[in-house]
Amino acid sequence: MSRPVVHQAASLLLRYPDHDWPERLRAVRAALEPVPGTEVGLLLRFCDEVGATAPLDLAARYVVTFDRSRRRCLYLTYYTDGDTRRRGASLAELKALYRRHGWRPPEDELPDFLPLMLEFAARTPDLKASLLVEHRPALELLRLALASYRSPYAGVVDAVCRTLPGPSPATREAALRLARTGPPAETVGLLPYPVRAPDAPHAEETSR
């Protein structure tokens, strides 16, 4: 298994499936097929599952999956910080980390957006995915929520979790215990959902 390849592929697969989706999917397949490993197999299985889905249909599914559920959002500091001042500090720390490594992500996206974090991890393999390890409780909560929702995206997040040291928790309660510094269990995933940048393709969608 090549961890940077898995992280870069997952970054591309977890982004909104816009007009370039078919080309993106082909590029991901081409990069993954020569690479062995269980994690790669999970990503290729996702490609197979969504490969025959029309981009517009997949885009609608993406919005319902990630933008209309607070338990399945792609903004990782939300799981541990909610909409609090502490989250603002966490976002600032992420921006500072990116700058220290000479990387400038798009200004119109929050720095805790999982595809951005995965791209950073792929570009900085010397850090050995330490950023993702730090945010593993959020990743595990997202993985479990997607699995419960029976979403094919669960396999993508599962592949990412498998690149990190140690076993994944089997239940949401175990993942919440892993998130010792986060908000109380009853509020994780229930605070107001972070607002997406206004020029994103599906910015008009709001959580309910």
- In this structure, what token pair is assigned to residue 23? 């080309």
Is residue 43 pLDDT above 90, yes or no? yes
Upper half-sphere CA count for residue 71 (Cβ side, 13 Å)? 16
Is residue 189 pLDDT above 60, yes or no? no
Question: pLDDT (tens digit, 9 = 90+) per residue, 139-158?
Answer: 999 999 999 999 999 999 99
Average pLDDT over residues 44-62: 95
Average pLDDT over residues 118-134: 90
What is the model's pLDDT at position 173?
78
pTM: 0.82
C-alpha to C-alpha distance for 142 and 70, rounded to whole angstroms: 10
CA 10 to chain centre: 8
